[in-house]
Structure 1
């Protein structure tokens, strides 16, 4: 099993940081310290802590910044990094971005979004949930009070995920998908096919829509509750301020 990070996004709501950096390299350490910890650092650090040695990173917008830091990141975390170019990062949404990493997924991966600040306990919860034929396991926050923007999930204890979408009444949801998934190697082919069908239908769809495509085809997708954990998806400057408060606690 290897790590996989989606780090191709532009994050335009985080300007001026993202004038020159991809979203995953926006600093979440002390404000004003441009050399401080980034979301990518947190993801790589978590992967190293659970014993992974290889990580694939999907890059696109401002990818040169990731290429420039590749050697230093490998040395810092003791990882071998493979950078995979997303040629449509500024045109299409992330269903295509994850599809670009389909060869990496054949190794079995823990996928982390490049904008999610979270502790290593999330990856540990996913690993603890493995087995019993589970092929795809989503990290689920069942504690947080949900609003309109969150990626909401309805999960049945006996059947797994039934629905995953932002377009849902929060009161219907079991919890929020936080952007971290364990994908076993044997799911790679079916997932790639579902993602391709998803972005061919509409290139602006999310990879979570690819998960829904799998569910619609009868593929079981499972969830692992992460407990009462401090985490944040960084979309704007308010999220970034929260991310800085959280990141320093890990």
Structure 2
């Protein structure tokens, strides 16, 4: 099993940082000097749980990731492979994850390039492996939800029944935080569902690909992460929160 980071996004709401950097390289250290980024935190988590390799899907301002590749490998002791997304500025992330379809065959812990979270999330997912589970989503069942969150409804042994931002928050079991464990056995099914998804509409999310799997009768499981600090960084308010959280671990 290896790590996988989706880091192709532009993150335009985080300008001026993202004038020259992809969202995953926006500074989350307190001083904002760039000594720590979301990508740093995620690779550090991968290393802490014993992974030795990771792939990073790059697109927007990918040259910034290529420039840091050797330093990141040295810092975190990971062998890194960069996967180019040729439509990063045109299409949404269902296509971005599909670009890594060959990586999925190795089994991955997938992390969005804008999610600041502690290593306990990866540990929770790894502890949930087994008993035929092929895809396990990290789920926050504590946070109070609103319209913007990627909400999930689950149903006992049937796992995920619905995953979308477009639902009444009051009906949701919790929020998908952007981290998933994907076993090798799920790779082909997921790649096909993602292809169906972005061919239907290039603006769709990879979570819409998860929904496509559910609609096909595939079981997606969840692992509750407990009451922990984390944030998806979409704007400058989120960035401020991310810097507060990053200081804690």
Number of the residue aligned with 2:39: 40
Number of the residue aligned with 1:132: 131
Residues in 1 aligned to 2:17 and 2:241: alpha-carbon distance in whole angstroms = 16
Q: CA deviation at 1:158?
A: 1.6
Matched, 1:108 2:107: yes
Number of the residue aligned with 1:233: 232
Residues in 2 aligned to 1:200 and 1:104: alpha-carbon distance in whole angstroms = 21
**SS state at 1:188 partner:** helix
Count of matched residue positions in the alignment of Structure 1 and Structure 2: 249
Residue by residue, what CA displacement relative to the aligned partner does 1:45-95 show, whole Å, maximum 9, x if unpaired? 000000000000000000000000000000000000000000000000000
Residues in 1 aligned to 2:129 and 2:11: alpha-carbon distance in whole angstroms = 32
Number of the residue aligned with 2:82: 83
Number of the residue aligned with 1:30: 30
For residues 32 and 47 of structure 1, do their structure 2 counterparts lie closer, same or farther at Cα, with a shift above 3 Å needed? Answer: closer
Segments of 4+ moved more than 4 angstroms: none
Residue by residue, what CA displacement relative to the aligned partner does 1:203-230 show, whole Å, maximum 9, x if unpaired? 0000000000000000000000000010
Residues in 2 aligned to 1:41 and 1:176: alpha-carbon distance in whole angstroms = 24
**SS state at 1:158 partner:** helix
> 5 Å matches for 1:48-197?
48-197=47-196
Query: TM-score when scaled to structure 2?
Result: 0.99
Q: Is the 8 A contact 1:86 1:100 kept in 2?
A: yes
5+ residue gaps, structure 1, are none
**SS state at 1:182 partner:** strand
Residues in 1 aligned to 2:66 and 2:146: alpha-carbon distance in whole angstroms = 36
Residue by residue, what CA displacement relative to the aligned partner does 1:158-197 show, whole Å, maximum 9, x if unpaired? 2000000000000000000000000000000000000000
Q: CA deviation at 1:32?
A: 3.8
Q: Is the 8 A contact 1:141 1:175 kept in 2?
A: yes
What is the Cα-based RMSD across aligned positions, in Å?
0.5
Residues in 2 aligned to 1:176 and 1:216: alpha-carbon distance in whole angstroms = 19
Q: Is the 8 A contact 1:153 1:174 kept in 2?
A: yes
Q: Is the 8 A contact 1:30 1:36 kept in 2?
A: no
Q: CA deviation at 1:31?
A: 2.8
Q: Is the 8 A contact 1:122 1:226 kept in 2?
A: yes
Q: CA deviation at 1:36?
A: 1.6
Residues in 2 aligned to 1:216 and 1:159: alpha-carbon distance in whole angstroms = 12
Query: TM-score when scaled to structure 1?
Result: 0.99
